[in-house]
Amino acid sequence: MTHTIQPNNPEATPAPDATDIPATTPPAPSTTQAPAAPPAAAAVPAALKRRIPKYSDLAPLMQFKKPEFSKEARLKRASTVWELRDIAKRRTPQAPFDYTDGAAEAEITLRRARQAFLDIEFRPGILRNVSAIDLSTDILGKPSRLPVGIAPTGFTRMMQSEGEYAGSQAAEAAGIPYTLSTMGTASIEDVAAAAPNGRNWFQLYLWTDRDRSLELIERAAKAGNDTLMVTVDTAVAGARLRDVRNGMTIPPALTIKTVLDASYRPAWWFNFLTHEPLTFASLSRYTGTVADLINSMFDPTLTFEDLDWLRETWKGNLVVKGIQTVEDARRVVGHGADGVILSNHGGRQLDRAPIPFHLLPEVKEAFTKDNTDAAIMLDTGIMSGADIVAALALGADFTLIGRAYLYGLMAGGRAGVDRTLQILEKDMARTMALLGASKISELTPDHVRLLNN
């Protein structure tokens, strides 16, 4: 015997099979039985009944704000470094913007460096107490309120007239290190005066003229710089093709193209023309292209023996920037370096160079095997606080930002640099909380998985 269930009503009582029905005519319905009443309509909830809205209901929604066009409002609306970059591009002439934004040749290295931070998977821990996030750390024997410092950048007052003064003062206020470049447009002494309570570092390019290098080293020490950062990846200049196409010179030349560009960015040109002319404050006056300057001034004959000379000469912390292999990281520590900076110069020298973020775990493993306490720092490609947290988790002791802070500088001067650091700090705190880490020492490689490795 079989039963049939209607597909649209699986709970209905099964109908009897036809073989169970008596072979008789069914009785006619009773004429005295009342017809069944239709089902009662469901009551409409009060919240769903239509009504004319009251003013008291609309008032909280009608909060129209007067449009704000101030610098402060513009910067406040930016919630990422990328958005600061967009503002910077609108407010800065093409040549200085491209000098900051561009890299060498086809700019493959820069794209890969940024993509490396995207090609990861965070692996959060749950049920941890993250009610308070501590982002402070120690680097090279002193505390830093955040695990990031400002990297050395040349020609900074060309990007925006406040230049190195804005960077050093913002770093001082944030409680992080600031690094002045040999090719900076503010002198060692002026930066020290602008940020007297900041932690100032000095970046050095070793010249063929050792006496001039020694003079800079002595000035840096006298001005209170506790760390010397020697850059070793500029034997010759990289092919920065955007600069070539823009006819980039120091100082910027007034051509028909630049005058037309200025018409859309009058504030930049007003600031540029009404402040002290740009010079390399640590050097003698120079006019020409960036590549010509590097090729005429920097020494392609440098060897590890020159690092020995620096170690004997400089009594503070010595850091080597531009490390791109595990072997070289080990060698510079063997020659007296207190720390290394894994860096390919922001992709501005050798295109298709190693990516610092990918190199980081190998260097960390090598230093652990060597039982060295030399600091591992990293730059290139950092555009968010999450990038910084990922680097710390994979073994970095500290990070440095160049372009990220320059985008803020071009977007709004000192206030723009402050905004960059605020964005990064908020990113870092949020990322760590979601990972289940309340302080930097709790970050481990288990928190990050490299998807393409």
Q: What is the pLDDT of residues 283-330, one digit of tens each?
A: 654 555 555 666 666 677 888 999 999 999 999 999 999 999 999 999
Query: For residue 290, what pLDDT is reported?
Result: 58
Query: For residue 101, what pLDDT is reported?
Result: 95
Q: Of residues 265 and 1, which shows the higher confidence score?
A: 265
Token pair of 115 as six digits: 């993509």
Query: For residue 21, what pLDDT is reported?
Result: 47
pLDDT at 29 exceeding the cut of 80: no
Active site members:
345
Q: Of 182, 183, 185, 176, whose CA–CA distance to 219 is shortest? A: 182
| 342 Rama class: left (phi>0) / alpha (psi -120 to 50) / beta | beta
Q: What does the DSSP assignment read for 346-411?
A: GGTSSTTPPPHHHHHHHHHHHHHHHT---EEEE-SS--SHHHHHHHHHTT-SEEEESHHHHHHHHH
**Neighbour count for residue 378 (Cβ, 10 Å):** 27
User: Treating both helix axes as pointing N-terminal to C-terminal, what angle do 403-435 and 81-91 enclose, rounded to 10 degrees?
Assistant: 160
Whether the bond between 251 and the residue before it is cis, its omega within 30 degrees of 0, is yes
Cβ pair 94, 263 in contact under 8 A: no
Cβ pair 87, 423 in contact under 8 A: no
Token pair of 236 as six digits: 């010759």
